[in-house]
Amino acid sequence: MAIDNQHNEFPEVTKIESGIEGFDLISLGGIPKKRTSLIAGSSGSCKTIFSIQFLVRGIQDYQENGVFVTFEETPAEIKSNVKSLGWDIHRFEENNQWAFVDASPEIDGQESSGAYNFMALLARIEHAVETVKAKRVVIDSIGALFPQLADADIVRKELFRIFAGLKLMNVTTLITAERFDEYGPISRFKVEEYVADNVIVLRHSIEEQKRRRTVEILKCRGSRHQNGEFPFTISDRGIEVMPLSAMKLEMVSSDLRIPTGNDTLDEMCGGGFYRDSIILVSGATGTGKTLLVTTFLDSGCNQNEKTLVFAFEESRSQLLRNAIGWGMGFNKWEDDGLLRIDCAYPETTGLPDHLLRMKEEIDKFNPSRIAVDSLSALERVSTGKAFREFVIGITSFIKEKQIAGLFTSVTPSLMGGISVTEQHISTITDSIILLRYVELMGEMKRGITVLKMRGSQHEKTIKEYDIDKTGMHIGNAFRNVGGILTGTPQQIAIAEDQMLSGMFEQDQ
**CB contact at 8 A, 367 and 297:** no
In this structure, are 227 and 263 located in the same domain?
A: no
In this structure, are 300 and 201 located in the same domain?
A: no
In this structure, are 167 and 235 located in the same domain?
A: yes
Backbone phi and psi for residue 204, each to the nearest 5 degrees, phi listed first? -130, 65
- Angle in degrees, CA 130, 17, 45, rounded to 5: 95
**CB contact at 8 A, 435 and 293:** no
User: For the chain, how many structural domains are there in total?
Assistant: 2
Report residue 43 CA to chain centroid gap: 23
Domain with residue 14: its CATH number is: 3.40.50.300
In this structure, are 272 and 232 located in the same domain?
A: no
Q: Which helix (H) or strand (E) covers residue 437, if one does? A: strand 431-440
pLDDT at position 310: 97
pLDDT at position 186: 74
Residue 141 falls inside a structural domain: yes
Q: Which of 429, 54, 367, 3 is nearest to 241 (CA)?
A: 54
Instruction: Look up residue 251 and give its DSSP letter.
Output: P
pLDDT at position 110: 44
pLDDT at position 205: 87
In this structure, are 298 and 179 located in the same domain?
A: no
Q: Which helix (H) or strand (E) covers residue 135, if one does? A: strand 134-140
pLDDT at position 210: 78
pLDDT at position 171: 96
Q: Which domain holds residue 129?
A: 9-246
In this structure, are 216 and 314 located in the same domain?
A: no
Sheet holding 134-140, edge to edge: 98-102, 65-70, 134-140, 172-178, 36-41, 198-207, 210-220, 229-235, 238-241
Low-confidence ranges of the chain (pLDDT < 50): 6-10, 107, 109-114, 420, 504, 508
**CB contact at 8 A, 148 and 116:** yes
Residue 507 falls inside a structural domain: no
pLDDT at position 418: 58
**CB contact at 8 A, 422 and 282:** yes
In this structure, are 201 and 292 located in the same domain?
A: no
pLDDT at position 178: 87
Number of Cα atoms under 13 Å in the Cβ half of residue 453:
21
In this structure, are 170 and 301 located in the same domain?
A: no
C-beta atoms surrounding 148 within 10 Å: 16
Q: Which of 226, 246, 266 is the last residue of a domain?
A: 246
In this structure, are 92 and 198 located in the same domain?
A: yes
Residue 2 falls inside a structural domain: no
pLDDT at position 54: 97
**pLDDT, tens digit, 9 for 90 and up, residues 185-243:** 777 666 677 778 899 999 998 877 778 899 999 999 889 999 999 999 998 889 999 88
Instruction: Look up residue 6 and give its DSSP letter.
Output: T
Residue 133 falls inside a structural domain: yes
pLDDT at position 261: 95
In this structure, are 217 and 297 located in the same domain?
A: no
**CB contact at 8 A, 41 and 186:** no
Q: Which of 246, 279, 304 is the last residue of a domain?
A: 246
